[in-house]
């Protein structure tokens, strides 16, 4: 299979031009056609010589994201189920906020991490996406927003898959997204979320990026976390917190800890107290409390509203900053992996 045009960073385009005896400035032109003018064929790149366009067409492909389904929520959230060229399905979500549009992208077809509350992992991991297949989700969403003269202003890497298990593609995706000559998304407007793949938290800390890091923590101790997230057996709590401390010390940036509240599982006052004690070792931390989404194949109850506020109050009393995530798109099954799981079942 040929590589995708969106797989390459600007530097990689420059190297490709050199190898192919083309002038270096052609790389910038290609980048401009892809991300500023957002064309979908080589023929449209009219300032490139015909010979170069032919060579590009021989060696690269455009990503095709065929829309299988599109669901629009009452709150403006739009969820897409896309089919890739190999017939695998992925999900992408566009969310409307008062401060702009954000997109949630998928990094893998399925996921092998096995979090017990997540629909994305139900069929295991099929394959990693290439950087270009992640980029294509943003380009596609931006082209849709072009019609409304709006732009994608922030990105969350929280869709299907564990981005730190597809690390290099995720990093190339970030490099393409933040490049001033491309879509030029501000680094601080991008968040990458991991279940806690410890070696790659260290690697990410050393990338010299200003991109936000979120850790799915979901439990305050090893025993409960291992039950909810098998990844904790590979990378136990202590190692995870040490990696987070390294990240904060190296980057000076705070980490957001995602905590999905599951009724009577991890949402009791003692869990909040224990979590507060753990996070005291992380001076720059912030907790994002998420009322767990209903997944038909799973059996979690939602935490009552008052208990969510109580959990938040306990954290704050312990000087841990905590917010409650506003739910978006719950009427269209916008939680990660639910549409794909339904699609696979129907198939």
Least Cβ distance, residue 6 to ligand SF4 (angstroms): 22
Closer to ligand SF4 at the Cβ: 136 or 290? 290
Question: x/- site string to ligand SF4, residues 318 to 347, per CB under 6 A?
Answer: ------------------x-----------
163 near ligand SF4, rule: CB under 6 A? no
d(C-alpha 258, C-alpha 272), whole Å: 13
Would you say 266 and 237 are in contact if contact means Cβ atoms under 8 Å apart? no
Question: Rounded to an integer, what distance in angstroms lies between the CA atom of residue 97 and that of residue 224?
Answer: 34
φ, ψ (nearest 5 deg) of residue 109: -85, 100
Q: Which is nearer to ligand SF4, 115 or 262 (CB)?
A: 115
CB of 193 to ligand SF4, least distance (A): 7
Query: Distance between CA atoms of 176 and 245, rounded to whole angstroms?
Result: 28
Q: Of the candidates 31, 60, 104, 161, which one interacts with ligand SF4 according to CB under 6 A?
A: 161
Query: What is the crossing angle of helices 10-19 and 25-35, to 10°?
Result: 130
Contact region with ligand SF4 (CB under 6 A), list: 64-72, 77-85, 157-165, 204-212: 157-165
Sign of the Cα pseudo-torsion (154, 67, 164, 316, in order): positive
Distance of CA 128 to the CA centre of its chain: 13
Distance CA 247, CA 258 (A): 16
Q: Binding site: what residues are annotated?
A: 111, 115, 118, 161-162, 193, 216-218, 293
Q: Does 118 bind ligand SF4 (CB under 6 A)?
A: yes
Mark the binding-site residues for [4Fe-4S] cluster, compressed into ranges: 111, 115, 118
Tell me if residue 104 is catalytic.
Answer: no
By CB under 6 A, name the one of 22, 128, 133, 162 that touches ligand SF4. Answer: 162
Q: How far is the CB of 330 from ligand SF4 (least distance, A)?
A: 17
DSSP helix/strand/coil, 164? helix
Point out the catalytic residue in the list 22, 91, 165, 258. 91
Q: Given its phi and psi angles, is residue 4 left (phi above 0), alpha (psi -120 to 50 degrees) or beta?
A: beta
83 is annotated as an active-site residue = no
Binders of ligand SF4 among residues 178 to 217 (CB under 6 A) are 195
CB 127 within 8 A of CB 119: no
- Which residues bind to ligand SF4, rule: CB under 6 A? 111, 113-115, 118, 120-121, 160-162, 195, 336
Active site positions, annotated: 91, 336
């Amino acid at each position: 299979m040929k590589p995708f045009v969106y797989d390459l960073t600007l530097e990689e385009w420059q190297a490709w031009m050199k190898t192919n005896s083309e002038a270096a400035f052609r790389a910038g032109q290609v980048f401009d056609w892809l991300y500023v003018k957002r064309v979908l064929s080589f023929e449209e790149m009219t300032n490139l010589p015909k010979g170069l366009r032919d060579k590009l067409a021989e060696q690269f492909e455009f990503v095709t994201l065929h829309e299988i389904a599109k669901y629009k929520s009452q709150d403006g959230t739009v969820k897409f189920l896309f089919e890739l060229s190999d017939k695998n399905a992925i999900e992408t979500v566009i969310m409307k906020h008062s401060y702009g549009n954000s997109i949630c992208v998928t990094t893998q077809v399925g996921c092998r991490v096995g979090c017990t509350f997540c629909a994305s992992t139900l069929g295991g991991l099929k394959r990693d996406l290439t950087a270009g297949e992640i980029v294509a989700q943003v380009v596609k969403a931006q082209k849709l927003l072009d019609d409304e003269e709006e732009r994608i202003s922030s990105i969350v890497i929280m869709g299907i898959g564990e981005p730190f298990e597809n690390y290099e593609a995720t990093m190339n995706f970030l490099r393409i997204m933040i490049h001033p000559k491309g879509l030029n998304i501000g680094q601080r407007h991008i968040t990458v979320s991991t279940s806690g793949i410890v070696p790659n938290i260290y690697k990410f800390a050393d990338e010299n990026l200003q991109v936000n890091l979120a850790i799915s923590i979901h439990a305050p101790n090893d025993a409960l976390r291992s039950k909810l997230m098998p990844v904790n057996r590979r990378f136990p709590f202590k190692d995870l917190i040490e990696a987070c401390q390294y990240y904060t010390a190296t980057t000076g940036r705070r980490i957001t800890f995602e905590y999905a509240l599951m009724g009577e599982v991890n949402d009791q006052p003692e869990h909040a107290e224990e979590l507060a004690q753990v996070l005291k070792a992380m001076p720059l931390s912030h907790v994002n409390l998420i009322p767990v989404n209903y997944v038909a194949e799973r059996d979690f109850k939602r935490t009552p509203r008052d208990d969510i506020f109580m959990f938040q109050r306990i954290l704050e009393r312990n000087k841990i900053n905590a917010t409650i995530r506003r739910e978006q798109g719950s009427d269209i099954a916008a939680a990660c992996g639910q549409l794909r799981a339904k699609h696979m079942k129907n198939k």
